[in-house]
Chain A
């Protein structure tokens, strides 16, 4: 079964519109890329798109009400919603330190959630 996917390259401001043709989950062809960088991006993006997620969580007793956090590495794009739901249930107490692991495995992705700023005690 063949399938076509359209995507925009983020490699440079050209933003080439590319079309990837897949057959049974295998890439058959990539068109529209002006350079090699685009093809490499497209190949990764259609098979395994991943993103780093950043957000905030509430802090009790800190000088700020919220602490910024990020996933330690990128997570699969289709796990983003699930992870954002998990995030809503998390609170921490001050002090928070930059790099601190807040959750070891966020939403079953195997990826940790870490703090990105020091939040000292109030």
Chain B
């Protein structure tokens, strides 16, 4: 068996940033395992601009953002095995992988960082009646077809789901000459960024139908159209509102799920809410020495946050390898009214850095509300927010002094207050 100090599973933005940070923290014995033929992850197919405003203070396309990190990895001569699929991970941190040159390999790692990203929710999860003709794609698959292979999935398109990938694809397909008839969103609000609604839909006159869904797919061999209906407040189609929309292609942009099969094999506790690992302030999972960052941990909308999060995982994995003790005290992070989840969900005060960032999403749209932080019931923050929406990840910053001046602290509560 090969031995390595740090093994990183996945060579997307999260894996690359974690590797760079680990080297900068003094670790040299690192291996990145990536199943694709190149590093960079999903951003290689996201050819639009808008990445990196936070990290590089300029607006890059997806491949350009990835390339910056790939270069940093190359400069540091970090070892990466490409075309290598990790098939198993044990809680003793034995990583099993396969590729064509080495065959089956087993690596005993001192620390592991999970950076496998996420995948798209398939149509099966939706249950739309109708046959299964050709012409139904997930938005991400269509993105790969168009942007990497240069192949158009269809000419007349309906998109279900107004997440950012769906919005971006509406513009891409229109620019390439297709007719995007509409984007349907079952919720009364879009999960996508305002900027994408304006620049991908409004700019091209593509209608966004909020509180609408696809109720039936027509066509036997190829999609010939879809039935679209308005939904009530319980998201059930309202009888009599159904309308036939002709199209040859239906794109589904109905959400992303963290890719956690390997994490489950290692016995990592998975949150029901994020579908990602439950982690502490160092991004360590319930299994000692296994860390997680990026979309495998919780779905991010800005890759910049993926990179910062992964840097933290990289540094902390190195501290773990060196045997740093986090101390016995643990503070729980509790989700109060309006908060769907938080990452992390526990904090060790003795190990907390000068500022701990707690990232979270709200469960609904709240206007003119307050973001409140309580330490064992004592209100320490009450911040007015013009708007909070589930589509945008929020964060609160916890200074170490809040933790250190309160020995015996049990829980931090994050909640949305109407006043």
Of the stretches A9-17, A20-28, A100-108, the one at the interface is: A9-17
- Whether B387 contacts A13 by the Cβ 8 Å rule is yes
A56 interfacial contact with B, CB 8 Å: yes
Q: What is the CA–CA distance of A11 and B197 in the complex, to the nearest angstrom?
A: 12
- Whether B149 contacts A66 by the Cβ 8 Å rule is yes
B interface bracket (residues with beta carbon within 8 Å of A): 20 to 34
With contacts A54-B48, A68-B47, A117-B63 taken as known, whether A13 is within 8 angstroms of B197 at the C-beta atoms is: no
- Whether B203 contacts A13 by the Cβ 8 Å rule is no
B148 interfacial contact with A, CB 8 Å: yes
Minimum CB distance partner of B70 in chain A: A118
- Whether B197 contacts A15 by the Cβ 8 Å rule is yes
Q: What is the CA–CA distance of A56 and B202 in the complex, to the nearest angstrom?
A: 22
Q: What is the CA–CA distance of A102 and B197 in the complex, to the nearest angstrom?
A: 30
Residues of chain A in range 71-106 having any CB-CB distance to chain B below 8 Å: 77, 80, 84, 98
- Whether B197 contacts A66 by the Cβ 8 Å rule is no
A58 interfacial contact with B, CB 8 Å: yes
- Whether A8 contacts B61 by the Cβ 8 Å rule is no
- Whether A55 contacts B175 by the Cβ 8 Å rule is yes
Contact of B387 among A14, A52, A55, A117 (CB under 8 A): A14
- Whether A116 contacts B194 by the Cβ 8 Å rule is no
- Whether B47 contacts A56 by the Cβ 8 Å rule is yes
B273 interfacial contact with A, CB 8 Å: no
Q: How many residues of A contact B (CB 8 A)?
A: 29
Number of A-B contacts (CB under 8 A): 75
Write out the residue numbers on chain A whose beta carbons fall within 8 Å of the beta carbon of B387. 12-14
B99 interfacial contact with A, CB 8 Å: no
Q: What is the CA–CA distance of A52 and B175 in the complex, to the nearest angstrom?
A: 13
CB distance from A32 to the nearest CB of B (A): 14
B57 interfacial contact with A, CB 8 Å: no
- Whether B47 contacts A10 by the Cβ 8 Å rule is no
- Whether A68 contacts B199 by the Cβ 8 Å rule is no
Residues of chain B in range 5-45 having any CB-CB distance to chain A below 8 Å: 44
B150 interfacial contact with A, CB 8 Å: yes
**Which A residues form the contact surface with B (CB < 8 A)?**
7-15, 34, 51-56, 58, 64-66, 68, 70, 77, 80, 84, 98, 116-118
Given contacts A54-B47, A54-B48, A55-B176, 9 further A-B contacts (CB under 8 A): A8-B202, A14-B367, A15-B194, A51-B203, A52-B49, A66-B147, A66-B148, A98-B63, A116-B61
CB<8 Å pairs between A and B, sample of 16: A7-B198, A10-B195, A10-B198, A10-B199, A12-B387, A13-B392, A14-B367, A14-B386, A55-B176, A56-B146, A70-B61, A98-B63, A98-B64, A116-B61, A116-B63, A117-B67
Top 4 A-B pairs ranked by shortest CB distance? A68-B47, A117-B63, A66-B150, A10-B195
